[in-house]
Amino acid sequence: MNTRTLLASIMALGLLAACSKPEPVVEPPRPVVVFTLAPAQVAPIALYTGEVRARYESDLAFRIGGKIVERRVDVGAVVKPGQVLARLDPADAGLNAEAARAQLAAAENEFSYARAEVLRYRDLVAKNFVSRSVLDAKETAFRSATARVEQARAQASVAGRQAGYTSLLADQAGVITAVGAEVGQVVKDSAVVMKLARDGEREVLIAVPESRIGELKKAGRVEVRLWTQPDVALAGRVREIAPSADAATRTYAVRVSIVDPLPALQLGMTANVVLADSGATAGGLLVPSTAVFEHEGASAVWVMQAEGELVKPALRKVTVRQYREDGALVSAGLTAGETIAAAGVHKIIAGQALRPVAPARPTAAPAVVRPGAAS
């Protein structure tokens, strides 16, 4: 084989290699978060999410202004009645108290002198040594001195009490929920320094639209379920409905008292308030709100069909009865036991192989109220 033939063979092999198709790259199945449907009882009229609060909350403030030199508690501290929470610089208040005491001493000296003068001139008038008009002047001076002593004594008492106002005390047992001033800050009198949530009754603060106020007023049974313990139902009662709506949200603040709170109930916890309807009937499935999307003008979900370790999505139209804070209530189109996609529904393609992944935590709260659960 000569050199020309060898070069031609090499070029032919190169062309064949360049024209061959590369092997396709197989992508691994994409993960998808799935949710298995369970039967639900259609009992709640409405469900509201709120925050656990104390029934009695106090704004704590100094009665006088000054510079804060000490703060002894932080947010979350449990305090007792009479406990010192913060202190102001006592120098100015102490000087005012000393000045008031000095004025009281001067007034008492004038009073002693005026009294002695009245006694002396009464004796002189009795002996006809001076006229009655002179005695009247001395008695007037004595009454004025008496009034000045009372005034100075009252001012000294006020100054002494103000010297005690440099310490901020807890008037009730409770928990500090907020701190609004730090050491070194100059505050005015009545400026809120801390917030105190008193021990005792706990309640849930919720916001309710005006269309639901009537149902709340007529509610026979109200249940409270903590997000940390959704399977435990606590009896509650509507204690207060705000007389006017919030200017920004146009909702009414409603306070629901917890009749028998759990020991684990803490301020600031998130809780669901559920209104039960004794006339409700069974039917419907509670699904995550993120599982429902709009397709051709109707609500739809992706139903997962198992194929070995993988699943394939199939589009199915559903009827949503109600969108709630804990999910969407589907009244038709799904059956219990089926598995649906719970997230990323807009990126799923029908028939593609997916790898199912269980959610890290329940996407929809399992808090379902059943008739008769609350007393």
Q: Provide the pLDDT for residue 87.
A: 94
For residues 170 and 86, what is the distance between their CA atoms, to the nearest angstrom? 10
State both tokens at 332.
């038709």
The residues facing 196 across adjacent strands are 58, 176
> 0.85 cut: is pTM over it?
no
Q: List alpha helices for the chain, DSSP H.
A: 3-19, 91-126, 132-164, 213-218
Q: Identify the CA nearest to 220 among candidates 274, 175, 301, 265.
A: 274
Q: Provide the pLDDT for residue 173.
A: 92
Q: Provide the pLDDT for residue 74.
A: 92
Q: Provide the pLDDT for residue 298.
A: 86
- Mind listing the pLDDT tens digit of every residue in the chain (375 residues)? 556 665 566 666 555 455 555 565 556 777 888 888 876 544 455 778 889 999 899 999 999 999 999 999 999 899 999 999 999 999 888 888 889 999 999 999 999 999 998 888 888 888 888 888 888 888 899 999 999 999 999 999 988 888 889 999 998 999 999 999 999 999 998 899 999 999 888 999 999 888 778 888 877 678 888 888 877 888 888 888 999 988 888 889 999 988 888 887 888 888 888 876 544 444 567 788 888 888 888 888 888 888 878 888 888 888 887 776 667 878 788 888 888 888 888 888 888 888 888 775 444 444 333 333 333
Tell me if 285 sits within 8 A of 339, measured CB to CB.
Answer: no
Q: Provide the pLDDT for residue 73.
A: 93
Q: Provide the pLDDT for residue 367.
A: 39
Contacts of 42 (CB under 8 A, 6+ apart): 280, 281, 282, 283, 284, 321, 329
Q: Provide the pLDDT for residue 84.
A: 94
Q: Provide the pLDDT for residue 372.
A: 34
Q: Provide the pLDDT for residue 278.
A: 42
Tell me if 203 sits within 8 A of 55, measured CB to CB.
Answer: yes
Q: Provide the pLDDT for residue 9.
A: 66
Q: Provide the pLDDT for residue 40.
A: 54
Contacts of 206 (CB under 8 A, 6+ apart): 48, 49, 50, 253, 254, 256, 273
Backbone angles phi, psi at 324, to 5 degrees: -125, 175
State both tokens at 49.
């999410």
Q: Provide the pLDDT for residue 336.
A: 81
For residues 300 and 292, what is the distance between their CA atoms, to the nearest angstrom? 6
Q: Identify the CA nearest to 370 among candidates 283, 278, 287.
A: 278
DSSP state for residue 39 in the 8-state scheme: B
